[in-house]
């Protein structure tokens, strides 16, 4: 008896030779990488490197000057229901009379036309997503009263409730304490593995992602290097990417990317306080 050949994870995202020019300025050039179902990809680069612009290209909000984006094998389009997105800045007023579960529920109708879901089915899906991100304990609290880590959990549930194939998170660890960082990273990695969602997380500090990243996409000087962490985060590869000498140093399990003194201002994004050492 013959059995069909086993197939590997499905390719969810393909970025092919993308080039972006805004107001006559080259932002990113010749960016290519893929992300499979269940993969956790870290999009790494300093502030202003082009990470958010690349996210917006994937979302269909910015048109590239060259190249293309495929989502589940099809050209991506705006408001693609296969994509879930958690933006970088979340401003939730403490006085807004909205519970956490209400915000999660709003994610159900973002790509739909016509009447909303029946209340029983809607409530069951909201409960499912709240449980998936371990937010049951504060689901009925006002969203503006939640901590940064709790708000991130709710926003992830909001993005996941429509069951996307691709989840994009833009700087989800910004302004979180170390404990909250670890919780959010562990949660997202678990979701990727359990539900075979392709996850792309942008951040200026790769260290919280080191134990969970399948691959890294490193953005610098408008260019990109992609591969495993061992392949990309090396002195040779990053020196070529930046166009001058840099050193990659492992200090007690933390990766530091350090430039020569004449370039040190370009490489502050791996440090805990956002600045290079003196």
Question: Residue 15's CB: how many other CB atoms inside 10 A?
Answer: 23
CATH superfamily, region 7-82+164-232: P-loop containing nucleotide triphosphate hydrolases (3.40.50.300)
CA distance 72 to 89: 27
Q: Write down the domain spans for the chain.
A: 7-82+164-232, 96-162
Over residues 202-234, the pLDDT tens digits come to 998 899 999 899 999 999 888 899 999 999 999
Long-range contacts of 73-79 (CB under 8 A, 24+ apart): 73/11, 79/110, 79/111
pLDDT band at residue 270, thresholds of 50, 70 and 90? very low
Q: What is the pLDDT of residues 76-101, one digit of tens each?
A: 877 788 999 998 877 777 777 889 99
Quick one: pLDDT band at residue 273, thresholds 50, 70, 90? Answer: very low
Give rounded-to-5 percent helix, strand, coil for the chain: 30, 30, 40
Q: Which residue has the tokens 């990309």?
A: 232
The per-residue pLDDT for range 155-193, each reduced to its tens digit, is: 999 999 989 999 999 999 888 888 889 999 999 999 899
Contacts of residue 194, Cβ cutoff 8 Å, sequence gap at least 6:
none
d(CA 22, CA 188): 32
Amino acid 113: pLDDT: 46
Contacts of 162 (CB under 8 A, 6+ apart): 81, 84, 107, 108, 110, 111
How far are the Cα atoms of 68, 114, 141, 148 from residue 60, in angstroms, in the given order? Answer: 11, 24, 33, 28
Q: How far is CA 113 from CA 106, 119, 165, 204, 206, in A?
A: 13, 16, 20, 37, 39
Helix (H, G, I), strand (E, B) or coil at 43: strand
Which residues on adjacent β-strands are paired with residue 86? Answer: 169
């Amino acid at each position: 008896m013959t059995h069909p050949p086993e197939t590997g994870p499905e390719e969810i995202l393909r970025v092919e030779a993308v080039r972006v020019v805004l107001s006559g300025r080259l932002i990113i050039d010749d960016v290519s990488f893929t992300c499979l179902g269940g993969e956790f990809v870290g999009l790494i680069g300093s502030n202003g490197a082009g990470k958010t612009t690349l996210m917006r290209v994937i979302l269909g909000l910015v048109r590239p000057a060259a190249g293309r984006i495929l989502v589940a094998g099809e050209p991506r389009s705006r408001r693609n229901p296969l994509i879930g997105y958690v933006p970088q800045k979340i401003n939730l007023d403490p006085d807004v009379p909205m519970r956490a579960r209400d915000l999660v529920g709003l994610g159900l109708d973002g790509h739909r036309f016509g009447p909303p879901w029946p209340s029983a089915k809607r409530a069951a899906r909201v409960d499912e997503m709240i449980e998936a991100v371990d937010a049951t304990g504060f689901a009925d609290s006002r969203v503006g009263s939640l901590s940064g880590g709790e708000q991130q959990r709710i926003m992830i549930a909001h993005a996941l409730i429509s069951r996307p194939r691709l989840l994009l998170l833009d700087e989800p660890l910004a302004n979180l304490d170390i404990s909250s960082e670890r919780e959010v990273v562990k949660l997202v990695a678990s979701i990727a593995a359990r539900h075979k969602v392709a996850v792309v997380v942008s951040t200026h500090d790769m260290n919280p992602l080191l134990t969970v990243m399948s691959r890294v996409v490193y953005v610098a000087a408008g260019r990109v290097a992609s591969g495993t962490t061992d392949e990309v985060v090396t002195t040779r590869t990053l020196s070529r990417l930046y166009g001058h000498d840099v050193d990659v140093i492992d200090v007690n399990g933390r990766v530091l990317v350090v430039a020569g003194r004449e370039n040190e201002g370009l490489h502050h994004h791996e440090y805990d306080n956002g600045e290079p050492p003196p």
